């Protein structure tokens, strides 16, 4: 005659099975990361010919100058004076820079994967003034080669340049050449040579079209930078060092305005070396400076990200993190039916039920890649609820108890979807739900003697 296991032993046994199921749950978590990586590789291939996450900078005026160095040398006992001419450059930022950008987004798809590219129409004006105190920067006015000045524009991926850029200096168009861009945007871009022999204030008007993907970053320069962006994209993300001063976001799109002064940038209007490049993470839109030893002002940027409103991999990833709660609540319900209701639940039945709960996340990922997260969630949860409800009828000995399991699972899946939707309030809602569930379990098991071991029914009848 076998002795019945104590409620405490059954609890430990259910807990051990639950811990074993953490292994396939972790494997599902890894599967989500792998599929997300594949999606990123596919996005890279889609945007390969369209330009990546673009970083733009400029215009910047580059003025060469000649510095004479005199050195005394002794050759064969004879003292001589040697004069050496060294060619250097000054980088002059605009006193005022106004830029308007119109972003036209477009979705591109490859197999199961989709990404967003954009066409940015850049229209700007800038005003350059030659400072009077050039001596602070190691040069004098007569050393400057103003007739050899260059105006430079930076784009991190020049493959995205479309049509012909138009740059006018004091109303006159200038011839543009590729390369020799602004270093802060990666050194690529385009430039034009100008004759600034007069040294009078210089007005520059320009426009060009740039194709890119995922994000657009501006590296502001100069005394005052005003940037206005408009787009029909309804889900922008703002990042970098400066957030917009004003922004309006609706279902019809967004507009954003930045006003960035020289004091906020902490940059000199004239520099002997250009700012180092910033780089952009193509997937998150985060901007970070290179590892070169540079001043803190070098990495200040303003970034717009074309945010996908429904990143299925991020949503599935978040849902998998709640997987242990599904397993825990379901096992706890089985345990209560076993301890309080008299049903017998074997370890193998715990294991098979847990396998079904883990399978939900695999189905959710597979369906979401094809039909989107919301519909995939409904189909995957309906399939698992139906499967486990039918199985529970056999395990728990009746459809009435199985119906309770079905209601529980429906509540769990509905609750998880609400948590995923709430985002900011998900923690407090989740913690309160767990508190109520714990209180219910405590109430249901208040009279259970966890260490008591009884006899089987056959022994009791004898």
Answer yes or no: is pLDDT of 108 > 50: yes
> Cα separations (Å) of 170 from 92, 117, 216?
17, 34, 28
pLDDT at 291: 33
Rg (CA), the chain: 34
Mean pLDDT of the chain: 81
The stretch 260-268 carries a mean pLDDT of: 86
The rounded distance, in Å, linking the Cα atoms of 183 and 298 is 11
Residue showing tokens 């003697």: 449
**Residue range 81-97, pLDDT digits in tens:** 777 778 888 899 999 99
Answer yes or no: is pLDDT of 460 > 80: no
The rounded distance, in Å, linking the Cα atoms of 200 and 194 is 13
**Residue range 227-238, pLDDT digits in tens:** 999 999 988 889
Q: Pick the more confident residue, 362 or 415.
A: 362
The rounded distance, in Å, linking the Cα atoms of 128 and 134 is 14
pLDDT at 244: 93
Residue 261's Cβ-side half-sphere holds a number of Cα atoms within 13 Å equal to 3
The answer to whether residues 374 and 295 touch, using CB atoms and an 8 Å cutoff, is no
- Give the whole-number percent of the chain exceeding pLDDT 70: 87
**Residue range 281-301, pLDDT digits in tens:** 544 434 433 333 333 334 688
Answer yes or no: is pLDDT of 346 > 50: yes
Residues 6+ apart with CB under 8 A from 422: 429
Answer yes or no: is pLDDT of 246 > 90: yes
> 54: burial class by Cβ within 10 Å (0-12, 13-18, 19+)?
buried
∠ at Cα 236 (207, 238), nearest 5°?
A: 85
The answer to whether residues 372 and 312 touch, using CB atoms and an 8 Å cutoff, is yes
What angle in degrees, to the nearest 10, is found between the helix axes of 7-47 and 312-320? 170
The top-scoring range by mean pLDDT among 400-414, 420-434, 436-450 is 400-414
The rounded distance, in Å, linking the Cα atoms of 298 and 241 is 11
The stretch 61-72 carries a mean pLDDT of: 81
The rounded distance, in Å, linking the Cα atoms of 218 and 155 is 10
Question: Which tokens hold the place of 384?
Answer: 């698992």
> Cα separations (Å) of 139 from 71, 159, 219?
19, 37, 26
Q: How confident is the model at residue 450 (pLDDT cuts 50, 70, 90)?
A: low
Answer yes or no: is pLDDT of 199 > 60: yes
Helix (H) or strand (E) holding 193: strand 189-194
Helix (H) or strand (E) holding 40: helix 7-47
Torsion sign across C-alpha atoms 207, 161, 261, 250: positive
pLDDT at 3: 52
Q: How confident is the model at residue 101 (pLDDT cuts 50, 70, 90)?
A: very high
The stretch 456-462 carries a mean pLDDT of: 39
Closest CA to 298 of 220, 404, 381, 224: 220
Residues 6+ apart with CB under 8 A from 437: 329
Answer yes or no: is pLDDT of 1 > 70: no
- Give the whole-number percent of the chain exceeding pLDDT 90: 24
Closest CA to 416 of 384, 450, 449: 384
The stretch 54-64 carries a mean pLDDT of: 90
**Residue range 170-191, pLDDT digits in tens:** 999 999 988 887 877 777 889 9
* Greatest extent of the chain over all pairs of C-alpha atoms, in Å: 126
- DSSP code for 310: -
Lowest average pLDDT, out of 4-13, 29-38, 213-222, goes to: 4-13
pLDDT at 423: 63
Question: Which tokens hold the place of 9?
Answer: 């032993």
The stretch 273-279 carries a mean pLDDT of: 78
Strand partners, 194: 149
Helices (H), 321-372: 323-339, 347-371
The answer to whether residues 406 and 374 touch, using CB atoms and an 8 Å cutoff, is no
> Cα separations (Å) of 195 from 58, 72, 147, 378?
19, 36, 4, 67
The stretch 251-271 carries a mean pLDDT of: 89
Backbone angles phi, psi at 90, to 5 degrees: -110, 140
The three state secondary structure string of 247-302 is: EEEECCEEEEEEEEEHHHHCCCCEECCCCCCEEECCCCCCEEECCCCCCHHHHCCE
The answer to whether residues 68 and 85 touch, using CB atoms and an 8 Å cutoff, is yes
pLDDT at 310: 62
The rounded distance, in Å, linking the Cα atoms of 248 and 240 is 18
**Residue range 123-160, pLDDT digits in tens:** 999 999 988 877 777 778 888 888 999 999 988 888 88
The rounded distance, in Å, linking the Cα atoms of 418 and 426 is 8
Closest CA to 163 of 219, 120, 216, 218: 120
Answer yes or no: is pLDDT of 112 > 60: yes
pLDDT at 320: 87
pLDDT at 414: 87
Residues 6+ apart with CB under 8 A from 104: 118, 119, 120, 121, 231, 232
Answer yes or no: is pLDDT of 214 > 60: yes
């Amino acid at each position: 005659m076998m002795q019945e296991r104590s409620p405490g032993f059954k609890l430990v046994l259910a807990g051990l099975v639950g811990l074993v199921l953490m292994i396939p749950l972790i494997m599902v978590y890894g599967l989500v990361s792998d599929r997300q990586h594949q999606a990123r590789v596919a996005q890279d291939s889609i945007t390969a010919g369209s330009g990546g996450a673009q970083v733009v900078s400029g215009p910047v005026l580059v003025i060469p100058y000649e510095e004479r160095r005199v050195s005394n040398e002794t050759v064969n006992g004879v003292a001589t004076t040697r004069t050496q001419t060294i060619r250097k450059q000054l980088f002059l930022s605009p006193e005022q820079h106004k830029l308007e950008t119109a972003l036209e987004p477009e979705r591109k798809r490859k197999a199961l994967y989709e990404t967003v590219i954009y066409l940015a129409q850049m229209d700007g004006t800038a005003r350059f003034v030659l400072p009077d105190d050039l001596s602070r920067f190691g040069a004098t006015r007569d050393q400057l080669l103003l007739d050899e000045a260059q105006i430079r524009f930076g784009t991190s991926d020049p493959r995205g340049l479309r049509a012909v850029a138009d740059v006018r200096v004091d109303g006159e168009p200038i011839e543009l050449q590729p390369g020799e861009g602004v270093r802060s945007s990666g050194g690529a871009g385009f430039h034009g040579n100008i004759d600034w022999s007069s040294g009078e204030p210089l007005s520059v008007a320009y426009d060009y079209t740039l194709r890119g993907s995922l994000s657009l970053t501006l590296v502001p320069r100069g005394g005052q930078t005003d940037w206005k962006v408009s787009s029909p994209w309804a889900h922008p993300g703002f990042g970098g060092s400066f957030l917009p001063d004003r922004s309006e976001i609706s279902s019809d799109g967004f507009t954003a305005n930045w006003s960035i002064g020289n004091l906020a940038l902490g940059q000199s209007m004239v520099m002997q070396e250009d700012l180092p490049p910033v780089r952009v993470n193509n997937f998150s839109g985060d901007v970070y400076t290179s590892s070169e030893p540079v001043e803190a002002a070098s990495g200040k940027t303003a970034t717009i990200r074309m945010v996908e409103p429904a990143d299925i991999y991020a949503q599935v990833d978040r849902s998998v993190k709640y997987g242990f709660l599904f397993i825990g609540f379901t096992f706890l319900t089985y345990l209560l039916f076993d301890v309080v209701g008299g049903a017998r639940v074997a370890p193998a039945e715990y294991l098979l039920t847990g396998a079904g709960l883990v399978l939900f996340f695999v189905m959710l990922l597979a369906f979401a890649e094809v039909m989107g997260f919301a519909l995939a969630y409904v189909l995957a949860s309906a399939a698992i609820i139906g499967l486990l409800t039918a199985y529970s009828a056999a395990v728990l000995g009746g459809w009435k108890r199985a119906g309770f399991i079905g209601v529980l699972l429906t509540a769990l899946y509905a609750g998880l979807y609400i948590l995923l939707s709430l985002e900011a309030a998900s923690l407090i809602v989740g913690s309160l739900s767990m508190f109520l569930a714990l209180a219910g379990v405590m109430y249901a098991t208040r009279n259970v003697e966890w260490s008591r071991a009884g006899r089987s029914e056959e022994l009791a009848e004898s």
